[in-house]
Structure 1
Amino acid sequence: MALPASTNILIVGCGPAGLSCAITLAAKGHKDITIIDARPDGRTLSRAIVIHAQTIEALHSVGVADKLNARGVRAKRMVVRWQQTRLIKANFATLEERTRFPWALLISQSDTEDILEERLNELGIHILRPYKVTDMESVQGGIMVKFESGESIKARYVVGADGNRSTVRTLAGIPFRDPKTGKNPHAAVVKPTDSAKKLEKKLGKELVVADVHLSGHIPPTVNPTDLGVFLSPMQFLLLVPLPPAKDDPEQRPIYRMSCPVEPGAKEVTLTYLQKVLNSALGLPTEKTPIVDKLRWASLFRVKSAVADRFHQRMGDGIVTLCGDAGHVHSPAGGQGMNLGIRDAIQLGQALSDIIKRDNDPNTSPSAARAYADKRLEGYTTERRKLAVGVIKITKFMTWATGLEAPPAQRARNALYWTIGRGSVVSKKFTLRLSGLEAADHESIPLNA
């Protein structure tokens, strides 16, 4: 499919946020949409694996919740343990009064993207690849977006859904920084003499993410419907069951592992993952599962930042942001993709309202412009406030799980155990993880 010369809405990036924004617009009848992506094959590493209740509610409004629920594993609880001792849990069944989806859905990001793309195709919109944005300039009637291929497209509205290193955000001149330090996490200057601790301070904590197969004895604490966090002398291990790969003839369960990186290591090994698992479970060797196959693994740095604003006028056009282009933070609690998808659905609704006002013959151009500015200012205020809140809580969770000194670990465990005995704290923890607490501050999605 050829790139058109012009489009009303250009969406840059086809991860979960970009796809969700395009689906929302298309479901509301807007067909003059172009969605492009820089990746030739369109696939991504499956870092995000959890879709929480409020996000499933939002996705239900655009017609994709049923397929996602059918594909994923429905986690009943998130449990934080010190090895085999339960400290605190989030029981998602307590959400029944607030949602039709009282669970956390465990599903790989690649599966989520496949299902979202299928829905977009059903609505008549197809992704164009590969198109890498290199420049944007204001022109009469909109924004001219230029690509590495030498091609260009004119758009009235440009949606930046192109990740935390967003080219769209950079070209629009929107600052991106940690709300506490005011620094851009991508602008840190690294020296060859920097120690591991200094690199962590400059670049963020380095973590492992890996999908593996386990064999041997699987203890009851490695529950197939639990989102499990195991604290141990080696800090922590996230251990989460995922559905088998669709192309796996044996249909073996996949387990997501995430933990601190091995000091000085440049790659992830089975030996190190086994060492982490042994420490996390604290069981005799014969009762500890064996990490027998590494499907894929990656190292990444935890960063925190939020855009100063989620929209920017460029002459007659408007640039907007959603997902990681607007905020980035620790993966603790599985909040990032969830917030990004809900950004995108809210943005799609806002742009739909704005375009309808643009096309209303009874609305003057100046009134339509004022309406667009007001609508997007509300979007920025809402989404930025939620992003800053997520950054605060995920920073705390990352700090607490990453304690290394035994006295600090013991004090944290005692605190978690104490508060974990109370139902009020447990319910609030569950509500916060699910995103339903944010529902009180989010615009309500309209059914497609």
Structure 2
Amino acid sequence: MILPTFTNVLIVGTGPAGLACAISLAVNGYKDVTIVDARPSGRTLSRAIVIHAQTLEELDTVGCADTLNTRGLHAKYMTVRAQKTLLAKANFPSLAPRTRFPWALLISQAETEDILDQRMNELGIKILRPYNVTGMKTVEGGMQVQFESGEIIKARYVIGADGSRSTIRQLAGIPFRDPLTDQEPYVERPKGVETTKQLEKRLGKELVIADVHLSGPIPPEVNTEELSVFLSTLQFLLLVPLPALKDDPNGKTVYRMSCPAEPGSLEVTLPRLQTVLDSALGHLPAHQKPRVEKIIWSSNFRVKSAVADRFFTRIGDGVVALIGDAGHVHSPAGGQGMNLGIRDAIQLGRTLADILKREQNGTALAHAQRAYALQRLEQFSEERRKMAIQVIKMTKVMTWATGLETLPAQKARDVVWWLMGRGSFVNNRLALRLSGLQAGEQTRQPASAQQATPSVSSIETAIRSLLSKDPQHLQQGAGGAAIRLFSYAVLLVCLLLPTIWLRRSASVTAVTRA
């Protein structure tokens, strides 16, 4: 296809967010959309592997959920274990009263994009490739976007869905930084020698991800109904089953592994993955442990957190909106990034289509009415930004908790997690928070009910309070007296139980060796 000289809506980027936004616009009755991407072809490898319930609800409104659910695996639980001890178990079936999709859908991002691309074709929307944006400026009636090829297009609405290093965001002059530290995620390394700790503090922890085949005995802790997190002296291992590769005649399950990178090395090796797996399953004798048979694909990355100062901005007569990683990035803990981006995109498409259809149908909005419509978009974007900041806070806590390095801190954390995971309330609440349904549910709860019982955020407060040694931290945050009492109780328990926990671990080790 030839690039048009004018379009009402230009979407830059064809990741899940860009595709979902274009689909949402079309499904809601507006197809004057041009979508471009700098890559010559679609993605074949990916990081994201889970779609949560609220995202499936949104995808269902645009006709994609059924196909996705057919292709992926339905996980009932997310479990957290320290050796053979089950610490917590997010119970996704407990979401059934709130959603048609009470599970976490395990499917690769590449497969998700393929399904979204098929839906685009059904709706008659074509992707133009490769078009790499090099410039953008305001002109009468909108924005003028220039590409590396020298071609130019004019658009009234430019939607940046071009990733965490978004060119659209940079050209619009929108700052992108960590909302808690005010630090930019992509900065040049300062002169001088940095220790590993200093580098991690400034740039984030280095993690590796790999899709692998396992061989040998597969223990019950590793199954296709769970997203499994194993805590060990090597910090953590995320182990998640995925559907078999399309070209695998044997239909062998693929497992996604994610763990801290080997200190001083950027290479993802089979021995490193095996070492982490052995540590995670340290309670098993060697002959009962699975082996990492083959690395299908691997990568490494630093955990970064940042959010755009604005998801929506007016520049002259034009409008720039940001979705997906262009608007927010954070730790992959909990599988929230792609989910939040897809939800942003579908909701933006729905809102924008409503405004554009009224203009297209000849009922042109007066100046005041158009201003009101743009204000709606601005308010929507601000709400989505607040949600992104909440997700950043949650994933920072999860990353921090799984990344503790000293044995006393690890044991104290495990005790707290074990205590909290004994009842169904916390496990159900954790599933609700991960699902993305929580925000809608909270608005229907009385304020008194929200404060009456400690929630997952209360647990985060308690754990941070325990290990930060900051008495003031216990006095702050939502939840008032209930959370403070809860935090003191956790602190007291953790002062009493680490010795018992250490002795228990030692006895288990002795029995295993015997």
CA drift at 1:440: 4.2
Relative to structure 2, which stretch is displaced further, 421-430 or 111-120? 421-430
Structure 2 gap segments, 5+ residues each: 444-514
Q: Is the 8 A contact 1:179 1:305 kept in 2?
A: yes
Taking the TM superposition and a 5 Å limit, the aligned residue runs for 1:377-396 are 377-396=378-397
Whether 1:421 aligns to 2:422 is: yes
CA drift at 1:193: 1.4
1:261-301 Cα offsets, whole Å, 9 max, x none, are 00111210000000000001112111110001000100101
Letter in 2 for 1:287: Q
Whether 1:47 aligns to 2:47 is: yes
In the alignment, what sits opposite 1:277? 277
Structure 2: distance between partners of 1:249 and 1:171: 47
In the alignment, what sits opposite 2:306? 305
Letter in 1 for 2:434: L
CA drift at 1:372: 2.9
SS at match of 2:186: helix
In the alignment, what sits opposite 1:28? 28
Letter in 1 for 2:121: N
In the alignment, what sits opposite 1:293? 294
In the alignment, what sits opposite 2:259? 259
Q: Is the 8 A contact 2:28 2:354 kept in 1?
A: no
Structure 2: distance between partners of 1:192 and 1:252: 48
In the alignment, what sits opposite 1:226? 226
In the alignment, what sits opposite 2:79? 79
Structure 2: distance between partners of 1:10 and 1:381: 21
CA RMSD of aligned residues (A): 1.3
Q: Is the 8 A contact 1:94 1:102 kept in 2?
A: yes
CA drift at 1:362: 4.4
Relative to structure 2, which stretch is displaced further, 105-114 or 223-232? 223-232
SS at match of 1:137: strand
Q: Is the 8 A contact 2:30 2:357 kept in 1?
A: no
CA drift at 1:361: 4.2
Normalised by the length of structure 1, the TM-score is: 0.96
Whether 1:316 aligns to 2:317 is: yes
Relative to structure 2, which stretch is displaced further, 236-245 or 41-50? 41-50
Whether 1:181 aligns to 2:175 is: no
The share of aligned pairs that are identical, in percent, is 66
1:142-198 Cα offsets, whole Å, 9 max, x none, are 111111111111111111001111110111111111111112111253435122111
Structure 2: distance between partners of 1:438 and 1:204: 28
Letter in 1 for 2:306: A
Q: Which structure has the bigger radius of gyration?
A: 2
Letter in 2 for 1:187: V
In the alignment, what sits opposite 2:89? 89
Structure 1: distance between partners of 2:361 and 2:76: 47
Taking the TM superposition and a 5 Å limit, the aligned residue runs for 1:337-352 are 337-352=338-353
Structure 1: distance between partners of 2:277 and 2:362: 64
CA drift at 1:79: 0.3
Letter in 2 for 1:403: L
Q: Is the 8 A contact 1:16 1:337 kept in 2?
A: yes
1:364-413 Cα offsets, whole Å, 9 max, x none, are 44124312321112112210111010000100000000001000000000
Relative to structure 2, which stretch is displaced further, 370-379 or 322-331? 370-379
In the alignment, what sits opposite 2:357? 356
Structure 1: distance between partners of 2:288 and 2:263: 27
Letter in 2 for 1:353: D
Structure 1 gap segments, 5+ residues each: 443-448
Structure 2: distance between partners of 1:361 and 1:118: 32
Normalised by the length of structure 2, the TM-score is: 0.84
How many pairs align?
442
CA drift at 1:350: 1.6
In the alignment, what sits opposite 2:240? 240
Letter in 1 for 2:81: R
In the alignment, what sits opposite 1:445? none
SS at match of 1:207: strand
Letter in 1 for 2:119: R
In the alignment, what sits opposite 1:57? 57
CA drift at 1:121: 0.7
Structure 1: distance between partners of 2:440 and 2:214: 37
In the alignment, what sits opposite 1:106? 106
In the alignment, what sits opposite 2:166? 166
Relative contact order (alpha carbons < 8 A, sep ≥ 6): 1 or 2 greater?
Answer: 1
SS at match of 1:334: coil
